[in-house]
């Protein structure tokens, strides 16, 4: 009953098999091996256009470097106030951008609106040096609370960003979960709605450590290789990341993993919504479920070996708590059913 | 005939087997899994004392973060002028330390002397704010040109460093190669000679991407976990690095790999020293050989598929060049003999 | 009718006279001249204890460097959400601290409560590397909206800060205005309530460019001279800042300037409170007045040559606006009466 | 007998008179006052073209910010190994550029040659991410040892810089001294030879604290105002710097000050060259003289109240030392003659 996070799982068989396949033999170091080149081509195919893609090893690296690519002196990045880049990356974006500020926008269910962005941008009129200058807008898909921006919502945010010549960044740590849930193409969820740069996450969905920074306007990434190297994210044996992507994309195993994880979340949600004493204030759209349960029940579950985290939230009675349940490719129906049966 | 670098090899079987072993199942994320704890204990055993150890994924990360741990405003790090941190890390140490300067010391065969360090430090008297302030001393073992500091030489450098209260850092990207060549213990090559912090490299010697920052005075690393996270080097599925170390240390496979690489370098050196038209100005002590060969011969070798890099050097006739040949666990005697036979 | 800001004034006669007095002759450069030493001694006297004091030239420099002195990797500074360091310094604190985050606390009338701080700190439990780590607490005295923390309020905030071993910083850009309004001693407004470091502002109150970073625990500033030099704030002809302070402190001219400015603000407030169509939602306590006036009236005043800025605020009818009026040593009663008479 | 540095002098009467003139009255803050605008226009006139000029307060600020304007990830600035930016700014350029490296070129008499630059640049081939990327070239005029680049030498260095699309920066801390010595126009010493950005120093030549960053291609400075503010170098009462420049340029007082200082250096050199036991290895071209004198004589001079610094140099007998003598607008013939007479 492991629901702590999707990163408590290991790697999928497809990913490990690919890695094993490339273990022996020699290959040029530092990202110019044939396998890495083929993975770059694969990204073009996945996104139905020529992209500039740079492999890195953690989501924090992908996000920080993507934002650093557009950093300005006194720069300000606009994102949701609960975004991972604000709350969970120990200031890596601020450090990597040379001190750009993250402006946390309010918004229900982990999402901010184009209106909220527009209002915040008004506080940063052109050329007022005291306030600094907007440098980027960032959305998270799926969000920290497992919700999704629709393509139209993304496009509307992009329109506001573009009105100030700002790039739109998408933190796609759970990109695949969002994609299969919306049932649209990678292109439709990104550049067709005006996303400029994507942190394409693969780790949570079955890789060991494989993330990619994808620039939809390849020239945007012209100097990125220096940024990546300077942040110690250019790997000598780079094929070990490329191999993970090979396995990830092979036979659409990434979509299959995400579909499974989402299905497990749905199974959880359905089970819990019928359980006594449980509320589900946020409808799960990807692989996370946020039930409100009796605090006493949480202790019982943990004693039984269930793993999950409390999700701090306001305005609950002292005897109730919101918890976060995350599913992954490795979650089994039995695990879900066992958990639900204990309510 | 691949001699370009030891990082053109993949991973050893021991490393891949360990990784495969830990592929499935769940484990706590972010470095608190049981396997990571056991690897930390293993480091204590290897170094015969309690150390504080932090796993990271690239040598550049290990070096940059180790130096950042001791960074000061206006700080100056003293190292050899050809050190990897100066020449090959795209300014990552400068960036990660908030702009500390690397002072490149002269010295033959990739090594600097205690006297050279002492002279340089005189340029930075205590409390002269203009010049900045010394923050660390860094040596590379084995050096960039495959030579070694003896234990006594390390101790003498440490003595000078300590006279100014400076930590001594060792860049051990090729730690194992140096160790088996000197035939001493890890403790004897490090803290027993006054090394304070080590970049323990495992990637070049058979891992995919496994490096460790080792503090011999554990309290030195008290705030390091924040530095590591801020530089995006805390891995969610941290066991994938730990597993590499498990395989690396298992049955002393790391020492075996290094002994093999060194033996191949020796075989190369012996073969080349008997070859016509070849000089060996630097005696190889680890897994690198730097012969001076006819430029025309280099072209012939490359046409035959040999891979190696020219090593820029002064004062050679136009028709001769120095090349760098690096061996690894994956280098075969046949590969060496084939190469030598072409002279 | 210049009420735009107290920094639209020039320098007081006392300050210019002192500067003129030290124009000729030679003096050691870089802060070790006798005049600078005597100013440092004067600060001890003003604060009734031995302090470590470092002269700089702008308030942004003082604030940024004070916070940088306590910066940590992934550090978080807690302050009011409308604090100058958050809103008006173009990311200088973030840059100078190597990317520390400013956490903006809510609170009425430009002040935050100990409770608000305590709640925010709970989001940063010890040792949770993802969120980063608290590095400092900062209050502004007088605040951005001309209000004051009482000594008890400062002490209460300090108690919360100390419960997490955090230094308490005071941005004293308008220190003198606050001081004379509270009618207490500098010691009582600072270290006696647990303030650890102060940005002592003198520019707004009659200097050209003279600010000081004051450490009440002198050892806290042990490495500060390197921070200051690295930020280009060590002046070669340092006596020109010291001379300003000489004039500033002479015959308590600084207190006199502040009393005058505050009196002018009071005169404005009294006049406006009797004026038709004017509201004064915030009671002025220092040298700033924030009336809400008819938007049409603002235009009329500006046409007549009055200078002031709109102060953006929510929830006002479209035909009304809040404006900020700032007084200084150079504000005359005639100027105030002229302004008031136009309502 | 004060020859320690030109920054031991105070301000010229012209500068103080102008400052006094602008003491009272109100003016818009933060650089948009009419006086500041007129000073900007004056710079256009001085340089015979439209320039973008930004006033700052220290030479270290001017240099650091000028280089930061062109910084790149992994950037490398090429300059003389004894340049002020390398030796005397406590890492401010490295910090302000986000960790760019300063590459110290060798060269006699404080100057490097185009050939030395060309050779160094070869170590940084295009697109080799490991080494980083060249970001700027910097020369000092007059140099640290009081010598000058001829216009042709500047042009030749610029040609090499431009071959790699690098901006040429001139550290003009002693710009006026160089200018009057070469007897050419400001334009001829800068942009007509391919200088792109200048740190125009006025402090050493008679201001309190007045420096300017001058971009000869105004568009180069498009984002500079944010850089300046972020480094706390935008002054609220900006007119106090502008006023210094007003006095500085008035009646060509700046040229007169520099001519006087240079004449005093010449008088020193002439006197010393005739003195027993004195060598003058470097011919003074501006306001600095570097005699080699008996060590015993130095002590005698210091006992008599003479102020100067030893200039560390190699290869002198133990009983002899090189000293640096700096003259300024405030140096008197009597002071010079007194000094010389003691040999």
**Cβ-based contacts of D75 with chain B (< 8 Å):** 91
Measured between CA atoms, how close is A63 to chain C, in angstroms? Answer: 14
Dihedrals φ, ψ of A239, to 5°? -60, -20
The encoded tokens of residue C154 equal 């400062």
Interface contact flag, A229 B96, Cβ < 8 Å? no
pLDDT digits (tens, 9 = 90+) for A147-167: 999 999 999 999 999 999 999
Sequence-ordered list of residues with C-beta below 8 angstroms from that of A45, at least 6 positions apart, any chain: none
The per-residue pLDDT for range D160-204, each reduced to its tens digit, is 999 999 999 999 999 999 999 999 999 999 999 999 999 999 999
Whether D10 and C231 lie within 8 Å, measured CB to CB: no
Contacts of D99 in chain B (CB under 8 A): 91, 94-99
What is the C-alpha to C-alpha distance for residues B139 and B85, in angstroms, rounded to an integer? 10
Q: Could you read off the pLDDT of A92-101 as tens digits, one per residue?
A: 999 999 999 9
Give the neighbours of chain C: at least 3 Cβ pairs within 8 Å: A, B, D
| Closest to D53 (Cα-Cα) out of D71, D72, D36 | D36
When pLDDT is cut at 50, 70 and 90, the band that residue D312 belongs to is confident
DSSP for residue D221: G
Residue A13 three-state SS: helix
Q: Under the phi-then-psi rule, with left for phi > 0, alpha for psi from -120 to 50, and beta for the rest, what region is A98?
A: left
SS (H, E, C) A161-222: HHHCCCCEEEEECCHHHHHHHHCCCHHHHCHHHCCCEEEEECCCCCCCCCEEEEECCHHHHC
Enumerate chain A positions whose Cβ falls within 8 A of a Cβ in D: 30, 68, 72-74, 98-99, 129-130, 132-133, 223, 225-227, 229-230, 234
Question: Which residues on chain D are in Cβ contact (under 8 Å) with A223?
Answer: 72-73
Gyration radius (Cα) of chain B, Å = 20
DSSP string computed for B254-285: HHHHHHHHHHHHHHHHHHHHTSTT-B--S---
CB contact under 8 Å between D230 and C95, yes or no, is yes
Residue B282 has pLDDT above 90, yes or no: no
A312 contacts on C by Cβ (under 8 Å): 123
pLDDT band at residue A315, thresholds of 50, 70 and 90?
A: confident
Given a contact cutoff of 8 angstroms between Cβ atoms, the answer to whether A91 and C73 are in contact is yes
pLDDT value, residue C104: 97
pLDDT (average), residues C194-220: 98
Q: D92 vs chain A: nearest CA distance in angstroms?
A: 15
D91:B99 CB<8 A? yes
By three-state DSSP, how is residue B3 classified? coil
Which of D68, D129, D228 has its CB closest to that of A226? D129
Of B211, B208, B249, the residue nearest B55 (C-alpha): B211
pLDDT surpassing 90 at residue B14: yes
| Chain segment C292-325, per-residue pLDDT in tens | 999 999 999 999 999 999 998 888 999 999 999 9
pLDDT confidence bin for D83, thresholds 50/70/90: very high
- Yes or no: say if D256 and D113 are a contact pair by the CB < 8 Å rule: no
Full set of structural domains in chain C with CATH? 13-252 (3.40.640.10), 255-341 (3.90.1150.10)
Q: Between the CA atoms of D203, D205, D206 and D212, what dihedral angle is there, to the nearest 10 degrees?
A: -40
Q: For position C312, what pLDDT does the model report?
A: 87
Query: D127: how many CB neighbours lie within 10 A of its CB?
Result: 9
Interface of A with C (CB under 8 A): 73-76, 87-92, 94-102, 123, 129-132, 312
Q: Closest Cα of chain A to B62: distance in Å?
A: 9
Write down the pLDDT at residue A26. 96
> Sheet containing D211-215: which strands, arranged edge to edge?
D52-56, D211-215, D197-201, D168-172, D133-140, D75-80, D101-105
Q: CA C35, CA C37: separation in Å to the nearest integer?
A: 5
Per-residue pLDDT, B127: 87
The pLDDT of residue C106: 97
**C-alpha triplet B279, B280, B281: angle, nearest 5°:** 105
Distant-in-sequence, close-in-space partners of D274: CB < 8 Å, separation ≥ 6: none
C-chain CB neighbours of D240 within 8 Å are 10-11, 208-209
pLDDT value of residue D237: 97
Probe site for chain C from B76, B96, B129 (most C CB atoms < 10 A): B129
- The arithmetic mean of pLDDT across residues A215-237, rounded, is 97
Say yes or no for a CB contact (<8 Å) between B130 and D98.
Answer: no
| Dihedral angle sign, alpha carbons of residues D224, D229, D232, D237 | positive
Chain-chain contact of C129 with B98 (C-beta, under 8 angstroms)? no
Question: B230, C30: Cβ pair inside 8 Å?
Answer: no
Mean pLDDT of D91-116: 97
* Predicted complex ipTM: 0.96
Closest CB to A237: pick one of B24, B90, B209.
Answer: B209
- 3-state secondary structure (DSSP) of residue C36: helix
Interface of B with D (CB under 8 A): 73-76, 87-92, 94-102, 123, 129-132, 312
Picking from A90, A92, A121 by the largest number of C CB atoms within 10 A of its own CB, the best residue to mutate is A90
pLDDT at A283 over 90: no
Nearest-by-Cβ selection for C73 from B74, B129, B227: B227
| pLDDT tens, position by position, A110-151 | 999 999 999 999 999 998 999 999 999 999 999 999 999 999
> For C94, which of A89, A101, A130 is closest by C-beta distance?
A101
Closest Cα partner for A61 from A78, A85, A39, A82? Answer: A85
Q: Which residue of C has its CA nearest to D239?
A: C10
pLDDT for position D283 = 87
Cβ atoms of A31 and A234 within 8 Å: the answer is yes
**What does the pLDDT look like over B112-133, one tens digit per residue?**
999 999 999 999 999 899 999 9
Separation CA A53–CA A72 (nearest Å): 22
> Å from A93 to nearest chain C CA?
8
CB contact under 8 A, D96 and B98: no
Rounded to whole angstroms, the Cα distance separating A176 from A179 reads 5
pLDDT reading at B313 higher than 90 = no
Question: Which percentage of chain B shows pLDDT scores above 90?
Answer: 98
List subunits contacting chain D, requiring 3 or more Cβ pairs under 8 Å. Answer: A, B, C
């Amino acid at each position: 009953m492991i629901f702590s996070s999707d990163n408590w799982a290991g790697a999928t068989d497809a990913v490990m098999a690919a890695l094993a396949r490339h273990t022996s033999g020699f290959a040029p170091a530092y990202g110019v091996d044939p396998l890495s080149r083929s993975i770059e081509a694969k990204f073009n195919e996945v996104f139905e256009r020529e992209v500039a893609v740079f492999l890195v090893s953690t989501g924090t690296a992908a996000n920080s470097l993507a934002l650093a690519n557009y950093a300005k002196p006194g720069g300000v990045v606009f994102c949701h106030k609960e975004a991972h880049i604000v709350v969970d990356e120990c200031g890596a974006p601020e450090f990597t951008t040379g001190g750009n500020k993250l402006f946390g926008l309010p918004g229900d269910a982990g999402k901010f609106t184009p209106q909220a962005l527009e209002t915040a941008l008004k506080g940063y009129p052109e050329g007022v040096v005291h306030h600094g200058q907007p440098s980027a807008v960032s959305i998270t898909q799926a969000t920290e609370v497992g919700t999704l921006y629709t393509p139209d919502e993304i496009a509307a945010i992009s329109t506001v960003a573009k009105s100030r010549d700002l790039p739109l960044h998408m933190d796609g740590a759970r990109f695949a979960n969002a994609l299969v849930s919306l049932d649209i193409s990678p292109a439709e969820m990104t550049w067709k709605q005006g996303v400029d740069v994507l942190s394409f996450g693969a780790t949570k969905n079955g890789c060991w450590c494989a993330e990619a920074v994808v620039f939809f306007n390849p020239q945007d990434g012209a100097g990125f290789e220096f940024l990546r190297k300077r942040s110690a994210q250019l790997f000598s044996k780079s094929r070990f990341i490329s191999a993970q992507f090979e396995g990830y994309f092979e036979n659409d195993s990434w979509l299959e993993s995400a579909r499974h994880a989402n299905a497990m979340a749905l199974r959880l949600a359905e089970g819990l919504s019928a359980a006594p004493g449980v509320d589900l204030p946020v409808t799960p759209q990807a692989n996370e479920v946020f039930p409100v349960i009796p605090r006493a029940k949480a202790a019982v579950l943990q004693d039984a070996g269930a793993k999950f985290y409390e999700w701090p939230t306001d305005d609950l009675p002292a005897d109730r708590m919101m918890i976060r349940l995350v599913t992954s490719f490795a979650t089994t129906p039995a695990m879900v059913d066992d958990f639900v049966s204990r309510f």
